[in-house]
Amino acid sequence: MKIVLLLMGLVAAVLLLALVITFLVATVRVFGSIYQVARNPSIALIAFRSLLQHRLRSGLLGGAIGLVTAGLLLVTGVSVGINDTLLTSATTLMSGHINVGGFYKVTSGQSAPVVTNYKKVDAIIRREFPEIDYIVHRGRGWAKLVSDTASVQAGVGGIDITQEAGMKRVIVIKEGNIDDLQKLDAILLFEEQAEKLGVKVGDRITIAAQTPRGTNNTIDVTVVAVAKSIGMLSSWNTYVNIEQLRHLYQLNEDTTGALQVYLKDIKQVPAVRERLRKVLSAEGYNLLDPDPRAFFQKFDAVNHESWTGQKLDITTWEEETSFVKWIVQILSFFATAVIFILVVIIAVGIMMVVWISIRERTREIGTLRAVGMQRSSVLAMFVTEGFLLGLMGTLGGTLLGLGLTFGLNSANIGLPKSWQFVFMSERLIVTPTATFVAFGIIFITGIITAISVIPSFLAARLKPISAMSHVG
């Protein structure tokens, strides 16, 4: 067993080494070729003409390269789309860019996701962090909603709608008025929950939950608004007036679930988070150790720690959505594997095409060499052929991909339910980004150019005399 493994390891290592060396050599040759072409642009012209001359071959391979580029564009577009939807829905529904949440433990075995004396925390953050765009505070709850005909278990967020500018921007109201959440006994549902509960705007529902002291409490609320779903996360969330949520959990005025901090620039998240930790501990707050999970996954750990009282927990939006991240990861793994296989196939294709091109033009090469063309120029000629084919193919593919993206987005394809879970969204969203377009073009053209070095090497090594006498 061990010997087999060792042997396999050895073979893999040798293969890997060979591959690395090939690529190093190829890269050097590619740069050499660039130099040659720069010195003598007619090389590029010859390469281009030769491509034009063999339309069928160039067209086929160029088409294949184009399809793969378009595929790459679509796959990355879908993955960016998923991430964007996740970001928008997460930062609207359940998280700020950064959250200052925390747990209050009445006894060491029981915790509530509450920040006490939050106004002071809020003031400190506003004072110390000019990077902040705005802060909202939200109550965190998990309760049973009961209508006349049905019941669902869902997250109940407590909000102060007058502060929720961001939320009002993103949430699309289907029925009712979101501003009615100012009323004490109001609730906002998403269409999926409203449908499940069989309620419309104006209907009453009961919310039942367990308070931090272990007793059960219920409140009655009126549905004031039904919103359109925004991604999968919205099926977990409902909103009530934060005052009402405090009544449900029998909490006092100066408590909230979490301060959701929105930054002007989301790229500053890691830096601000670090400084927040420093500032808040300097102010005498106890902080939980960083734990990259959503707050509701932490109860078990927190309940077994021996402290009581308040501890704050500073998290990012990515951590709060980590429980769905694995789906995105599987998806990207899968996409990478498919793209990898495709790139291998077209690499084989390009080797073949350049190699055939060389065989066909052996006599031509011989003549060119005989009239004084350098080996490096011959190599540069064929590498340029590969490069041009790759470039044209990827450019065409990018156009095709962008067209498809546009078509798919305007077709507004609704996804079936099980697909919504994987794609985090109600409909298929493809978001092409300049980065990935550039990446697709450079990556595929680069690989194709590098691969074309291998057969081109053979061409450059031909001796003029044998090349000229070559028949067929």
Residues 288 and 310: their CA atoms lie apart, in Å, by: 10
DSSP string, 50-100: HHHHTHHHHHHHHHHHHHHHHHHHHHHHHHHHHHHHHHHHHHHHT--SEEE
Is residue 300 classed exposed, middle or buried when 0-12, 13-18 and 19+ CB atoms within 10 A define those classes? exposed
Q: Name beta bridge partners: 166.
A: none
| Closest listed residue to residue 176, CA positions, set 165, 167, 185, 187 | 187
Which residue lies nearer to another protein by CB, 3 or 341? 341
Which residue lies nearer to another protein by CB, 332 or 431? 332
DSSP string, 25-59: HHHHHHHHHHHHHHH-THHHHHHHHHHHHTHHHHH
User: Please, what is the minimum distance in Å from the beta carbon of residue 133 to another protein?
Assistant: 29
Which residue lies nearer to another protein by CB, 74 or 373? 74
User: Token pair for residue 65?
Assistant: 């390269």
Which residue lies nearer to another protein by CB, 67 or 395? 67
Which residue lies nearer to another protein by CB, 278 or 359? 359
User: Please, what is the minimum distance in Å from the beta carbon of residue 258 to another protein?
Assistant: 15
Q: Is the dihedral of CA 370, 372, 375, 380 positive or negative?
A: negative
Residues 34 and 28: their CA atoms lie apart, in Å, by: 10
Which residue lies nearer to another protein by CB, 1 or 371? 1
User: Please, what is the minimum distance in Å from the beta carbon of residue 425 to another protein?
Assistant: 13
Categorise residue 359: left if φ over 0, alpha if ψ from -120 to 50, beta otherwise.
alpha
* Triad 298, 304, 306: Cα angle to 5°: 120
User: Please, what is the minimum distance in Å from the beta carbon of residue 338 to another protein?
Assistant: 4
Which residue lies nearer to another protein by CB, 130 or 289? 289
Which residue lies nearer to another protein by CB, 332 or 376? 332
User: Please, what is the minimum distance in Å from the beta carbon of residue 154 to another protein?
Assistant: 7
Kindly state the helix (H) or strand (E) to which residue 140 belongs, with its residue range: strand 132-146
User: Please, what is the minimum distance in Å from the beta carbon of residue 32 to another protein?
Assistant: 26
Which residue lies nearer to another protein by CB, 149 or 410? 149
Residues 61 and 348: their CA atoms lie apart, in Å, by: 11
| 408: Cβ contacts below 8 Å, ≥ 6 apart | 74, 428, 430
User: Please, what is the minimum distance in Å from the beta carbon of residue 299 to another protein?
Assistant: 9
Alpha helices in 94-147 (DSSP H): 118-128
User: Please, what is the minimum distance in Å from the beta carbon of residue 82 to another protein?
Assistant: 13
| 16: Cβ contacts below 8 Å, ≥ 6 apart | none
User: Please, what is the minimum distance in Å from the beta carbon of residue 74 to another protein?
Assistant: 10
* Triad 403, 406, 410: Cα angle to 5°: 140
SS3 label, residue 113:
coil
User: Please, what is the minimum distance in Å from the beta carbon of residue 37 to another protein?
Assistant: 26
Which residue lies nearer to another protein by CB, 205 or 380? 205
Question: Exposed e or buried b for every residue in 189-218, given b needs 16+ CB within 10 A?
Answer: bbbbbbebbebebebebebebeebeeeeee
Which residue lies nearer to another protein by CB, 44 or 351? 351
User: Please, what is the minimum distance in Å from the beta carbon of residue 421 to another protein?
Assistant: 6
| Closest listed residue to residue 245, CA positions, set 293, 212, 197 | 212
